[in-house]
């Protein structure tokens, strides 16, 4: 859900968005991503552009169902693909913003979309939607998006191997438990734990939460070199270089392929590759994130949201589509590709009892008190790039001075926020 972005991409995108002067779409026509003009109001029918970074069958089915459900609005789905940020930034800069945008990167775009607080309160069965998801689309006390789907993160493991060694994972296990299991099962052919040597700072933050740390505090200030952060990162670093029960690989390594290789017993990720790993023949177990130093395990949430452009002339119609998209029937249709955002759908589909899906839902309950640094500062793209460089420097060096490296990242991040 959340692609790694290079510094150049982030800064170029931010520059285009920041320099944009948003203008009202009005009526008439506008150019689509193919350069062709699309009527925004064809007679009595309003035409809405809905932009996403990926196209999949269930999403198209919901759009089609909405279009067939009434005769006043037509939604046209546009897939920007891997060039999503570049195309969206260009569209905003040209005053050609789509009406509905599926996104997650709120620091880059929240000034180009409208707050939805009041509209969300009117959602039918709002309490049926996992409420903690909304805090991932909240910037400066405004909620800017309605969740589409999500994934938390959990520990993947080779269940057959653990069963053969009479190892049972308890729901309240700890990092010390995981390290002990990894030590027991590490040998010449396999290593206990799979980690990334250049982890995505957003995805990595839940490790810090499990020790009371974070990248950015609630005042939007960097706290990257805190004692809690250093302690947690040092623990993981020691698992690789001191205990030798973990191995770090490149962020771009295919996770399912790496795990199916049989070289690792445990790995931490979202639910995205569960199906591929199952198809690969491994008996896959999923466990909640372990706790640390007496504190419970934590997980970040990966989620996409539907948002409405500030310069859309049809904001009410766009909201009507979002209401339809987040309804029980639509969420159930989307479950082919997305973890359901509605409690009732998850329950009715048996996901809360599924041994592979339940841990991801369990981890969702742990995020109430934790807001990701992503939505705490509009400077997150620049800060994240600095953290990424620092984390890579830490995990590729056996003798890395973690405190010193994080001190340097802290200084650079403070300059960014001044």
To 10 degrees, what angle do helices 380-395 and 201-209 make? Answer: 70
The tokens of 87 are what?
A: 């195309």
Alpha carbon distance 229, 261 (integer Å): 31
Residue 383 near residue 416 (C-beta atoms within 8 A): yes
Q: Is 72 a residue whose pLDDT tops 90? A: yes
Span 188-199, mean pLDDT? 90
Per-residue pLDDT, 3 = 40
Judging by beta carbons within 10 Å of its beta carbon (0-12, 13-18, 19+), is residue 151 exposed, middle or buried? Answer: buried
Which residue's entry shows tokens 């419970």?
296
Instruction: Give tens-digit pLDDT for 2-44.
Output: 443 333 333 334 433 443 333 333 333 444 444 434 445 556 7
Torsion angle of C-alpha atoms 344, 302, 293, 172, degrees rounded to 10: 30
CA distance 99 to 129: 24
Res. 51 pLDDT band, cuts 50 70 90: very high
Q: What is the CATH number of domain 154-300+379-417?
A: 3.40.190.10
pLDDT on residue 80: 93
Residues carrying CATH 3.40.190.10, the chain: 7-151+302-358, 154-300+379-417
pLDDT exceeds cutoff 60 at 107: yes
> What residues contact 91, with CB distance under 8 A and at least 6 apart?
33, 51, 97, 98
User: pLDDT tens, 290-307?
Assistant: 999 999 999 999 999 999
Q: How far apart are CA 392 and CA 309, in angstroms?
A: 36
| For the chain, percent of residues with pLDDT exceeding 70 | 89
What is the pLDDT at residue 373?
Answer: 95
Residues of the chain with pLDDT > 90, as a percent, come to 76
User: Average pLDDT in the 73-92 region?
Assistant: 93
Taking only the tens place, the pLDDT of each residue in 173-185 is 999 999 999 999 9
CA dist 99 and 313 (Å) reads: 8
**Model pLDDT, residue 34:** 44
**Cα dist. 194→101, 159, 190, 373, 381 in Å?**
35, 15, 10, 24, 26
Q: Which residues contact 126 (CB under 8 A, 6 or more apart)?
A: 120
> Who wins on pLDDT, 267 or 40?
267
Residue 252: its pLDDT value, please? 67
Binning pLDDT at 50, 70 and 90, where does residue 54 land?
Answer: confident
* Residue-by-residue DSSP string for 296-337: PP----EEEEEEEBTT-S-HHHHHHHHHHHTSHHHHHHHTTT
**Pick from 392, 367, 382, 376: which is nearest to 415 by CA?**
382
Whole-number Cα distances in Å, 305 to 103, 151, 164, 349:
5, 13, 42, 22
User: Could you tell me if 63 and 50 are in contact, meaning their C-beta atoms sit under 8 angstroms apart?
Assistant: yes
Residue 289 has pLDDT above 90, yes or no: yes
Query: Does the CA dihedral 264-266-268-272 come out positive or negative?
Result: positive
**Is it true that domain 7-151+302-358 has CATH number 3.40.190.10?**
yes
- CB burial string 18-27: b at 16+ within 10 A, e below: eebeeeebee
Give the whole-angstrom CA distance, residue 107 versus residue 139. 8
Give the model's pLDDT for residue 27.
37
Q: Does pLDDT of 154 surpass 90?
A: yes
User: What pTM did the predictor assign?
Assistant: 0.86
């Amino acid at each position: 859900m959340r692609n790694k972005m290079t510094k150049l991409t982030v800064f170029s995108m931010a520059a285009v968005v920041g320099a944009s002067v948003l203008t009202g779409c009005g009526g008439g026509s506008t150019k689509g991503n193919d350069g062709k003009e699309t009527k925004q109001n064809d007679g009595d029918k309003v035409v809405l552009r809905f932009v996403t970074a990926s196209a999949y069958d269930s999403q198209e089915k919901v759009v089609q169902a909405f279009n067939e459900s009434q005769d006043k609005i037509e939604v046209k789905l546009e897939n920007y693909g891997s060039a999503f940020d570049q195309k969206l930034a260009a569209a905003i800069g040209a005053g050609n913003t789509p009406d509905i945008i599926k996104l997650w990167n709120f620091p880059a775009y929240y000034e180009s979309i409208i707050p939805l607080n009041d509209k969300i309160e009117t959602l039918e069965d709002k309490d049926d939607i996992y409420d903690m998801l909304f805090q991932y689309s909240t910037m400066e006390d405004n909620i800017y998006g309605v969740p589409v789907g999500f994934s938390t993160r959990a520990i993947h493991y080779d269940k057959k191997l653990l069963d053969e060694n009479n190892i049972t994972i308890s729901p309240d296990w700890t990092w010390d438990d995981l390290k002990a299991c990894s030590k027991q099962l590490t040998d010449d052919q396999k290593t206990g734990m799979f980690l990334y040597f250049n982890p995505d700072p957003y995805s990595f933050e839940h490790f810090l939460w499990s020790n009371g740390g974070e990248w950015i505090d609630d005042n939007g200030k960097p706290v990257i070199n805190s004692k809690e952060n250093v302690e947690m990162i040092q623990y993981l670093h020691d698992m690789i270089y001191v205990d030798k029960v973990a191995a770090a690989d490149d962020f771009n390594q295919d996770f399912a392929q790496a795990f199916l290789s049989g070289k690792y017993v445990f790995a931490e990720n979202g639910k995205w590759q569960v199906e591929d790993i199952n198809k690969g023949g491994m008996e896959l177990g999923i466990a909640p994130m372990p706790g640390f130093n007496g504190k419970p395990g934590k997980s970040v949430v990966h989620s996409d949201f539907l948002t409405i452009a500030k310069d859309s002339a049809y904001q009410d119609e766009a909201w009507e589509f979002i209401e339809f998209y987040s309804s029980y029937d639509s969420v159930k249709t989307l479950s082919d590709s997305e973890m359901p955002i509605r409690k009732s759908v998850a329950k009715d589909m048996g996901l809360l009892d599924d041994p592979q899906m339940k841990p991801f839902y369990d981890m969702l309950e742990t995020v109430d008190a934790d807001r990701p640094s992503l939505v705490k500062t509009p400077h997150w793209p620049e800060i994240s790039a600095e953290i990424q460089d620092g984390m890579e420097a830490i995990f590729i060096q056996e003798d890395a001075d973690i405190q010193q490296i994080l001190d340097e990242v802290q200084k650079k991040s403070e300059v960014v926020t001044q």
